[in-house]
C-alpha cells in the first residue's frame, strides 16, 4: 500500500511542476511590463520603476526568475496582495474554511440525495420513477448555477423572506474564530440564535453548489447499479432467495460504489469551480469570491498564487480519492 501511495505521489510531481510554471508564467505573459501594470494608470517615477524592477527581479533572465520563484514557494512565500498588503497565504487560509464549509455541506446534500436517487432509478428501471428522477437529474446537470442561485434568492429571500440574501451570518452576532466553520463556531459561542442564523445563510448556497454534483452522482450511481445488477453474483443472491432490499443494498451497492466514489472525488474540482459562481452570487466570503474580486481589482499576486493553491488543493484531494480507491479495490494497487 505504501508503495502504491508513493508511486501516486511521484506521478504528481511533473504535474505539480507544470502548475508552478503556469502560475509563474501568468504574470510574464501579461501584455506589457508587470511593474507598469501594477502601477496602474497613475504612472510611476523612473527611479521607483527601476527599484521595483530590481526588487521583483524582473531584470534577470527568465529561468533565474523561475528558480527564484520556486525557491520562494518552497519557503512558503507566495507574495503579498497589492490591495490589502497581506501575505496571500494568510488571506487564503483565512478564507479557505468558508469555502470548505460550503463545499462540505454541498457534497453532503449531493451524496445523501444523489446516491439514493440513483439506486431507486436503477432498481425500478424504465418506470415512472426512473424517468422522472433521471429527467430531473439531467435538468440539474444542465443548470446554469449562477441563474439557479438568483432564482432561489428571488423565491426564498424575496417572496417568502425565509432566508437572508448574502453573507455567512447576521451582523448581530460576533464571536471568535475557533474552527473557521461558522456552524461549529456559532454553536461553541453559545449565543442564542447564532446557529440558526449561520444555518439559514448556508442553506441556499449549499443547494446551489450541490446541484451539479448531485445530478452527476445520481446518474453515475444509476448506471453503475445497472451494470452491477446484471452480474452473475447478483442473480445468485436473488436465486438464494435473499430479499430485494438486501440484494440491492448490500450485494450490488458495495460493488457499484467504486465508480461513484471516483465521481465524488472528481466533483471536488467542480465544487471549487462552482464556488466561484456561488460565492459571487451570495457574497460568501470564500476563496471563489476572493479570486473573482482579485481579478477585477487586478490584484495579480493574489490571482497568481490563488490559482496555484487551488490547483494544489484539487490535486491533493484527487490523490486522497485515489488512495481510498486503492483501499476499497485491492486490484488497483497491484496493476
Partner 1 sequence: MTDITKSPSAQDVKRQMRRQMLADFWFYFSENRGAVIGLWVFMALVLLAVFAPIFAPHGATEQYRDAFLVPPVWEEGGQWEFLLGTDAVGRDMLSRLIYGARFSLFIGVVVVGIAATTGVCIGLIAGYYRGAVDTIIMRIMDVILAFPSLLLALVMVAILGPGLLNAMIAIAIVLQPHFVRLTRASVLNERGKDYVTSARVAGASPFYLMTRTILPNCLGPVTVQATLSFSNAILDAAALGFLGMGAQPPTPEWGTMLAEAREFILRAWWVVTFPGLAILITVLAINLVGDGLRDALDPKMKRS
Q: Interface residues with partner 1 (CB under 8 A)?
A: 14-15, 18-19, 21-22, 26, 29-30, 135, 138-139, 141-144, 146-148, 150-151, 153-154, 157-158, 226, 230, 269-270, 272-274, 276-277, 280, 291-292, 295-296, 303, 307, 310-311, 314-315
Provide the residue count of the chain: 335
CB of 87 to partner 1, least distance (A): 20
User: Checking phi first, is residue 227 left (phi over 0); if not, alpha (psi -120 to 50) or beta?
Assistant: alpha
CB of 316 to partner 1, least distance (A): 11
Query: Cβ(332)–Cβ(14) under 8 Å?
Result: no
Residue number, 65 or 223, with CB nearest to partner 1: 223
Residue number, 133 or 277, with CB nearest to partner 1: 277
CB of 280 to partner 1, least distance (A): 7
CB of 146 to partner 1, least distance (A): 5
Residue 134 CB neighbour total at 10 angstroms = 21
Q: Which long-range contacts (CB under 8 A, 24 or more apart) does 116-119 make?
A: 117/218, 117/221, 117/222, 118/217, 118/218, 118/219, 118/220, 118/221, 118/222, 118/224, 118/225, 118/260, 119/221, 119/222, 119/225, 119/248, 119/249, 119/253
Distance from C-alpha of 97 to C-alpha of 162, rounded to nearest angstrom:
25
Residue number, 194 or 219, with CB nearest to partner 1: 219
DSSP 131-153: HHHHHHHHHHHT--HHHHHHHHI
CB of 195 to partner 1, least distance (A): 27
Query: Cβ(256)–Cβ(224) under 8 Å?
Result: yes
CB of 320 to partner 1, least distance (A): 15
Q: Which three cell numbers stand for residue 287?
A: 476563496
Residue number, 79 or 194, with CB nearest to partner 1: 79
CB of 169 to partner 1, least distance (A): 21
Residue number, 144 or 249, with CB nearest to partner 1: 144
Q: At residue 165, what are phi and psi to the nearest 5 degrees?
A: -80, -35
Q: Which long-range contacts (CB under 8 A, 24 or more apart) does 5-14 make?
A: 5/323, 5/326, 8/319, 8/322, 8/323, 9/319, 12/315, 12/319
Residue number, 102 or 276, with CB nearest to partner 1: 276
Q: Which three cell numbers stand for residue 278?
A: 456561488
Residue 196 CB neighbour total at 10 angstroms = 12
Residue number, 178 or 316, with CB nearest to partner 1: 316
- Grouping H, G, I as helix, E, B as strand and the rest as coil, residue 124 is coil
CB of 163 to partner 1, least distance (A): 13
Looking up cell 445488477 gives: 229
Residue number, 136 or 200, with CB nearest to partner 1: 136
Residue number, 145 or 182, with CB nearest to partner 1: 145
CB of 260 to partner 1, least distance (A): 19
Amino acid at each position: 500500500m505504501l508503495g502504491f501511495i508513493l508511486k501516486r505521489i511521484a506521478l504528481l510531481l511533473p504535474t505539480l511542476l507544470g502548475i508552478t510554471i503556469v502560475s509563474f508564467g501568468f504574470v510574464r505573459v501579461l501584455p506589457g511590463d508587470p511593474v507598469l501594470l501594477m502601477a496602474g494608470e497613475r504612472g510611476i517615477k523612473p527611479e521607483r520603476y527601476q527599484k521595483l524592477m530590481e526588487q521583483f527581479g524582473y531584470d534577470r533572465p527568465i529561468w533565474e526568475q523561475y528558480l527564484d520563484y520556486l525557491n520562494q514557494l518552497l519557503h512558503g512565500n507566495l507574495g503579498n496582495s497589492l490591495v490589502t498588503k497581506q501575505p496571500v497565504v494568510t488571506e487564503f487560509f483565512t478564507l479557505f474554511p468558508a469555502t470548505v464549509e460550503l463545499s462540505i455541506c454541498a457534497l453532503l446534500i449531493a451524496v445523501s440525495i444523489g446516491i439514493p436517487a440513483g439506486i431507486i432509478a436503477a432498481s425500478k428501471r424504465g418506470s415512472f420513477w426512473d424517468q422522472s428522477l433521471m429527467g430531473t437529474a439531467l435538468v440539474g446537470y444542465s443548470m446554469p448555477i449562477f441563474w439557479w442561485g438568483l432564482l432561489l434568492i428571488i423565491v426564498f429571500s424575496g417572496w417568502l423572506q425565509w432566508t437572508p440574501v448574502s453573507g455567512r451570518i447576521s451582523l448581530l452576532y460576533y464571536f471568535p474564530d475557533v474552527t473557521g466553520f461558522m456552524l461549529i463556531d456559532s454553536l461553541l459561542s453559545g449565543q442564542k440564535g447564532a446557529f440558526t442564523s449561520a444555518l439559514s445563510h448556508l442553506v441556499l448556497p449549499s443547494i446551489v453548489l450541490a446541484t451539479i454534483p448531485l445530478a452527476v452522482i445520481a446518474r453515475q450511481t444509476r448506471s453503475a447499479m445497472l451494470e452491477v445488477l446484471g452480474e452473475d453474483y447478483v442473480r445468485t443472491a436473488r436465486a438464494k432467495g435473499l430479499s430485494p432490499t438486501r440484494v440491492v443494498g448490500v450485494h450490488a451497492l458495495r460493488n457499484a460504489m467504486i465508480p461513484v466514489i471516483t465521481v465524488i472525488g472528481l466533483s471536488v474540482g467542480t465544487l471549487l469551480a462552482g464556488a466561484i459562481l456561488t460565492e459571487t452570487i451570495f457574497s460568501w466570503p470564500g476563496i471563489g469570491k476572493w479570486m473573482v474580486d482579485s481579478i477585477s481589482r487586478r490584484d495579480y499576486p493574489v490571482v497568481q498564487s490563488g490559482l496555484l493553491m487551488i490547483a494544489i488543493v484539487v490535486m491533493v484531494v484527487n490523490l486522497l480519492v485515489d488512495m481510498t480507491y486503492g483501499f476499497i479495490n485491492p486490484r488497483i494497487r497491484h496493476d
